[in-house]
Amino acid sequence: MTRQALSDGTFELFILDELDRAIARHLITEAELLSSLDARSERVEVILTGTAMPQNLLEQADQVTHYRNFKGCAGESKLGATPPA
């Protein structure tokens, strides 16, 4: 369904959160993702998130933003929880 919605412009915005982890866990391949992005409608904006995005996906991106956490979940929180490794 997602691939079809990307290509036919059903939605104007897709946010694919932590996609690098989905690739690492073999839930989707880089080739499948690149194919879907290449086939998307010109009306569709796609936001991919993840800290270890493969280089070839970064090269396909229209925009790349590097987020740096200065304070907060980079270490132990006030509640004692730690972020996943």
Per-residue pLDDT of the chain (85 residues; tens, 9 = 90+): 678 888 898 898 888 888 889 999 999 999 998 998 898 898 988 888 888 889 888 888 777 787 777 666 655 555 555 555 5
Residues pairing with 47 in the sheet: 15
Give per-residue burial for 9-34: e unless 16+ CB within 10 Å, then b: eeeeebebeebbeebeeeeeeeeebe
User: From the CA atom positions of the chain, what is the Rg in Å?
Assistant: 15
**Tokens 């995005």 map to which residue?**
53
pLDDT of residue 17: 87
Quick one: pLDDT at residue 82?
57
DSSP 3-state of 65: coil
The answer to whether the CB of 74 falls within 8 A of the CB of 83 is yes
How many Å apart are CA 32 and CA 38, to the nearest integer?
10
